Structure 1
Amino acid sequence: MKGGGLFVLAWLAAVWPSALAAQEWPVRYVRMIVAASAGSAPDVICRLIGDRLSPRLGQQVVIENQNGAGGNLGATVAARAAPDGYTFFCGQAAPLALNQHLFKTMNFDVARDFDPVTLIGMSPMVIAVNAKRGIKTLPDLIAVAKAEPGKLSFATSGTKNVPHLTAELLKSRAGIRMAQVPYSVTTQGAMDAVTGVVDLMIDGIPAVQAHVQSGSLIAVAVSVPKRVPGLEQVPAISETVPGFNVSGWFGLVAPKGTAPATIKRMNDEMKVVLSEPTLIARFSDLGVYPDADFQSPEAFGKFLQSEAELYGRIAAMAGFEKE
């Protein structure tokens, strides 16, 4: 056989197994790592996805909880997995964009160690004010904060997270001062906003939604430019503070080097799952909203980079120190 024929045979021998593997994927269960404990909101979100993906893929999607280090443990386990198409990381904004600005040392790098698959959904923040405070709108809130510098207090679930970033950016852009009161238990922060221990809460929608519906808290603004389903009457912060856009979110990534055909198949199936009315309704209860603008791997990759840059700017402005 001539040299050219031998070259073609050698090339086919090298390429055919990987092409066949990609075509047949998956042939066994798919592991989806979640950087949160069982029963938590991130866990529920990823299980809702896994339950719907399994019949579409023809293989079981197994959720593996790896909680710790602010999400870094789960991300590290996923980053070190073989890029064979059988491990994915269902992660939130913290390990995928924020933590690089909070930790001196991390055992993974998002850009280096992961390939983007899709954005799962946005998780916007809401500003909810004690109804007895007399503050009905965001302009009202800003006016009171300027008249009483540093006297207004706001609850957040924890610190150095998306609710805290939202508050810090608002304070900077609106030129106001408010005192943060972080809570380890979200429900306690919401209840203290209701009873007036603090003046308001800045957090995810589920944290305050029941109190808003009861009239104990008044939702004056959401942190994303688009009106939020179920809270369409609540204006965006950007309607008062132009250009304001901060949100939590969830996304799906794969270990770097995962076959493009596998990523495309998973992306195609995820788009179908994320468009299912039953999933959208359940996600809405959890304060998560799919956004088709960032569901392609390319768009989600750019989103990851821009979110990391945004979080970094806010963290630096707020004086967050790496630990």
Structure 2
Amino acid sequence: MRRRTFALSAAASALAGLHPHAFAQGQWPERPVKLILSQPAGSGPDILARYLGEQLSRSWKQPVVIDNKPGGQNVIGAQAAARSPADGYTFYYATTAAMVTNVYTFKSLPYDPAKDFVPVRLVGRSPFLLAARADFPARTLAEVLAKAKAAPGSVSVATEGPKTFSGMLADSVAELGGVKFNHVPYTKATDAMQDVIGGRIDLVCLPDAALSAYVKGGQVRALATSTAQRLAEMPTVPSLSETFAGFEYTGWNGLFAPAGTPADVVARVNRDVEALLRQPEVVQRLQALGSIAEPKMSVAEFDAFMRAERERWSRLVQTLRIQAE
């Protein structure tokens, strides 16, 4: 009897050794789950992550803790997430900049987006807007491009910087339109808006979430959206693809896990997030926060999406002749 008991114990120990997370995952989550962010509290991604965390907390019956680690153009937060335990209790709520564009704008990074993380779930896409000050004489994108072509450098555009999403979008529009804008970078979107509303800058290129209130208030006039189709909330505003066929330029936000995180936990989080993103009230809330919900995307599909994004941005960076620093 003792020999049989010993044999069963040895077999159980061997199984546990082969699958160290097998038993623990059956009850996942048994404790709070952490979402690391590269942005400060109160920022757009932070507001989105907190809303998502609240919904998941109700589903999981466990707190979802938001851990803000801003700075270094997403490097600080991404590095912290990459070095976190791969135990299924820490995830990285990331934006396109951290997981894709930083690879092409930094000569070296202390983390590798492709190797240090596994994709979990795309949450939503973030459209951008190109808008003009209310009294700018050019009323359409075609008129803006004609004005810029007639007098190169005369049309100014405010962005968050030439190597940011908004900056690269403005430069892409100029490149495709065969014109040269006077690119004016700002560290704060609020400062950019003050100068546009005050008539010192002609155009502004920022995320829809940052500009929509000014558009609705009549302080700026939307010229185009960066999405392939027009936005539901702005049906009269053309998409850039209507001027430049096939053009689409959106940021996105999604969940990633440190490499080595148990695959069944990754699959569980993917399913739970997808269930949320199929709820109309969640979709509406995300839209109000400037994010278009992605209703269906498996882990494998998200992985393929990430590979395509890296290829797409590699081509765009080459087209815009952006040098890594």
- Who is 1:177 aligned against? 180
Match of 1:108, SS?
Answer: coil
1:25 aligns with 2:28: yes
How much does 1:236 deviate?
A: 0.8
What is the distance in 1 between the residues matched to 2:225 and 2:147?
19
1 CA distance for matches of 2:282 and 2:274? Answer: 12
Q: Taking structure 1 as the reference length, what is the TM-score of the superposition?
A: 0.92
Residue of structure 2 in register with 1:143 after alignment: 146
Superposition RMSD in Å = 2.1
**1:181-196 equivalent positions in 2, closer than 5 A:** 181-196=184-199
Correspondence 1:79 to 2:82: yes
Please give the secondary structure, in 1, of the residue aligned with 2:237: coil
2:262 is aligned with 1:259 = yes
Structure 1 stretches lacking a partner, 5+ long: none
**Partner of residue 162, structure 1:** 165
1:212 and 2:215 correspond: yes
Structure 1 distance, partners of 2:226, 2:115, is 30
- Please give the per-residue CA displacement for 1:176-217, whole angstroms capped at 9, x wherever unaligned: 111111112212212322232111111111322222223332
Q: Which residue is equivalent to 1:132? A: 135
- Give the match for residue 302 of structure 2: 300
| Unaligned 5+ runs, structure 2 | none
Matched, 1:283 2:286: yes
Q: Distance in 1 between matches of 2:88 and 2:17?
A: 19
Letter in structure 1 aligned against 2:323: E
Contact 2:37 2:92 survives alignment (8 Å): yes
Residue identity matched to 1:118: R
Q: In the alignment, is residue 64 of structure 1 matched against residue 53 of structure 2? A: no
- Residue 275 of structure 1: how far off its partner (Å): 3.0
AA of the residue aligned to 1:322: A
Instruction: Give the letter for the 1:301 counterpart.
Output: D
How many Å separate the matches in 1 of 2:96 and 2:128?
A: 13
* Aligned pair partner of 1:317 in 313, 316, 319: 319
Distance in 2 (alpha carbons) for counterparts of 1:34 and 1:9: 39
Q: Distance in 2 between matches of 1:296 and 1:166?
A: 28
Identity, % of aligned pairs?
A: 35
Taking the aligned partners of 2:304 and 2:41, their CA distance within structure 1 comes to 30
User: What is the aligned length?
Assistant: 319
Contact 2:91 2:256 (C-alpha < 8 Å) held by counterparts: yes
Give the ranges of 4+ consecutive aligned residues of structure 1 lying more than 6 Å apart after TM superposition.
5-10
Does structure 1 conserve the Cα–Cα contact (< 8 Å) formed by 2:287 and 2:293? no
- 1:119 paired with 2:122, answer yes
Q: Is the contact between residue 29 and residue 62 of structure 2 (CA under 8 Å) also seen in structure 1?
A: yes
Secondary structure, aligned partner of 2:185:
strand
Aligned to 2:243: 240
Quote the offset at 1:136 in angstroms: 2.4
Residues 86-129 of structure 1: CA distance to partner in whole angstroms, max 9, x if unpaired? 11000111111111111122111111011101111111110111
> In the alignment, does 2:245 pair up with 1:250?
no
Deviations 1:247-266 (A, max 9, x none): 11111000111111101110
Q: State the match for 1:89 in structure 2.
A: 92
Closer/same/farther in 2, CA of residues 16 and 98 from structure 1, 3 Å limit: closer
Using the TM superposition, give the Cα deviation of residue 16 of structure 1 relative to its aligned residue in structure 2, in angstroms: 5.6
The 5 A counterparts of 1:102-113 are: 102-113=105-116
The CA distance in 2 between the partners of 1:70 and 1:107, in whole Å, is 12
The one-letter amino acid of 2:35's match is M
SS at match of 2:293: coil
Give the deviation of 1:9 after TM superposition.
Answer: 6.5
The structure in which a higher percent of residues are helix is 1
Q: 1:17 to 1:141 in 2, by over 3 A?
A: same
User: What is the rounded CA distance, in whole Å, between the counterparts of 2:100 and 2:81 in structure 1?
Assistant: 15
